[in-house]
Amino acid sequence: MLHTQMKKTVNISILATNFNNGKFLSDFFDSIINSTVHPKEIIFVDDGSTDNSLEIIEKYKVLKNLQLIYFKKNKGRAAALNAGKSKCSSKYILIIDPDDILLPERIEIQYNFMGNNSDIDILGGNVIYFNSETGEKLNTSNFPTSNSDIFRTFEKGENGVLQPTIICKTELLKKYDYKQIVPGQDYELFARIAKDGYKFASLQEPINRMRVHTYSVVSNVKLQSFINLFSYRDKIFGTKTSKIKIRFYFWHIKYYRKSMFAKNPISKYFNLLLSAFAYPQKIFKRIF
């Protein structure tokens, strides 16, 4: 499994933070090994895992480009990301979650894009969502691709890019720190970066397979989390979000996620209908 042919190494640091994703780590590391090119380094932060994560990681310590950071106690994802990015030494940082799977050409495609588009500071992409238990494909994300559309999406209080798909200039990301906000730490950081005038882009094609499971942070999000998130949106962009808008957006996300886990078609489409009612323009955009 670990004995692979020599491949080209590119000037990228992969950054991943882990908490209790042990059963997914073999898929994660193997997807890096099986990529068409290899990163200069893999910075992997274990945030005080209590499952079998450390046992799985031991199997991959033979990777010469792997650097491990261990937290004895869980400090939260923001602290883990900040610690990890401080150790990155490559020209670019590529972020992925350890319960996801890189598609084989992701690293090469994003590295080449950044090399050919020096004006772009952060590049994202789309993902194929799949059911963690069955492996069944659920759908494909549809994030905006142009800098102007990405900025407007952040301005609305939504993620303009999906963090586990991004590659960015290392010198830029080291200027900013993540804040301990759940689940909005990704949004808050990249919204600030967008507001400061840095340029974004996103690839139309999927570059990751993203695992959907019932105990993920997004699946268990609470209304108060969205209230907190939109308060940061208002602070960054000088806007004022109404309470009813926050509630409708929360319901949209809640019922959309329920539709992804639905066991039968009736439940699936009923929850999609509720999600569409709460935020019709979002569903319209996905369909068309």
Q: Measure the CA–CA gap between 60 and 3, rounded to whole angstroms.
A: 11
Q: Is residue 279 part of a domain?
A: no
Place 220 in a pLDDT band, splitting at 50, 70 and 90: low
Residue 209, pLDDT above cutoff 50: yes
53-99 per-position pLDDT tens digit: 999 999 999 999 999 999 999 999 999 999 999 999 999 999 999 99
Tokens encoding 1:
């499994």
Give the gyration radius of the chain's Cα atoms.
Answer: 19
Q: Is residue 130 part of a domain?
A: yes
Structural domain for 109, as ranges: 9-213
144-201 per-position pLDDT tens digit: 999 999 999 999 999 999 999 999 999 999 999 999 887 789 999 999 999 999 999 9
187-201 per-position pLDDT tens digit: 999 999 999 999 999
Tokens encoding 197:
């005038």
Q: Where are the beta strands (DSSP E) in the chain?
A: 9-18, 38-47, 66-71, 92-95, 101-102, 122-131, 137-140, 167-169, 200-212
The per-residue b/e assignment along 175-211, b for 16 or more CB within 10 angstroms, e otherwise, is ebebeebebbbbbbbbbbbbeeebebbbbeebbbbbb
pTM of the model: 0.90
Q: Is residue 285 part of a domain?
A: no
Q: Measure the CA–CA gap between 38 and 109, rounded to whole angstroms.
A: 12
Instruction: Decide which of 83 and 268 is more confident.
Output: 83
What's the CATH number where 92 sits? Answer: 3.90.550.10
Q: Measure the CA–CA gap between 183 and 187, rounded to whole angstroms.
A: 9
CA 41-171-48 angle, to 5 degrees, is 50
**What distance, in Å, lies between the first and last C-alpha atoms of the chain?**
42
Q: Measure the CA–CA gap between 239 and 155, rounded to whole angstroms.
A: 9
Give residue 271's pLDDT: 86
Place 1 in a pLDDT band, splitting at 50, 70 and 90: very low
Q: Is residue 180 part of a domain?
A: yes
Q: Is residue 171 part of a domain?
A: yes
Give residue 136's pLDDT: 87
Q: Is residue 2 part of a domain?
A: no
Task: Tally the domains of the chain.
Answer: 1
Place 44 in a pLDDT band, splitting at 50, 70 and 90: very high
Q: Is residue 106 part of a domain?
A: yes
Give residue 272's pLDDT: 85
User: 128 CB contacts (<8 Å, ≥6 apart)?
Assistant: 137, 139, 140, 206, 208, 209, 210
Q: Measure the CA–CA gap between 182 and 279, rounded to whole angstroms.
A: 22
Residue 274, pLDDT above cutoff 50: yes
Q: Is residue 258 part of a domain?
A: no
